[in-house]
Amino acid sequence: MNTEPQKFAEAIGIGFTNIDFLIQAFTHRSYLNEHREISHDHNERLEFLGDAVLELVVTNFLYKTFPGKPEGELTAYRAALVNTTTLSDAAKKLGMNDYLLLSKGEAKDTGRARQYILANTFEAVIGAIYLDQGYDVATDFITTNLLYLIKEIVAKNLWQDAKSFFQEKAQEVEGVTPAYEVLKQIGPDHNKCFTVGVYLRDELVAEGEGHSKQEAEQEAAKGGLEKKGWG
């Protein structure tokens, strides 16, 4: 595994004044549990900061790009741009997987858990860029690696509320209103992961995961639409 964030900085064309910010951005909490000698912190504080910067940049972009759109639609656009799947895909395209500092256990997991780690790391990198280079450079990074996706999201209606659509189809086809239930929640308060199931009567149709109950419900609804062939 490549543990030289300097190479990543060069790949994205940013000359960090303090490369330690970037090293921290790639450091997962689990890595520190196995490497007590490491003096720097894990990436959760940078993720917290980067999340706020990301939301402001995306909101500002959408506000200016779609002057005629109502708040609800802009909120849906933003959710499609900053959800776990979109951010983790962007992180993969940038090769962030190669720079992650993970415990041996976390390093083996390549499924949904890795998606969350990559999405969180993408936000942490934004936080690192913001601290080291400022808002404008962070904005350029987000614009280059994320905002271009809005054309496809709008063109393919990827922003549409899956939960509302699933309810509409369930009532139309099966005459029943879907019910959602939290099946599991793990992680610390600031970084919880929820697993939610969507039911039609007593049938568990699909499950979804997310950092909030709302995101997990949306993912469950997407799975339900796919399972039922209602896409």
Residues marked active site are found at 51, 123
- Is 120 annotated as belonging to a binding site? yes
Determine if residue 215 is labeled as part of a ligand binding site.
no
Angle between helices 84-93 and 112-133 (to 10 degrees): 70
- Annotated binding residue 47: yes
48: exposed, middle or buried (Cβ count in 10 Å: 0-12, 13-18, 19+): middle
Tell me the binding residues for Mg(2+).
Answer: 47, 120, 123
Tell me the binding residues.
Answer: 47, 120, 123
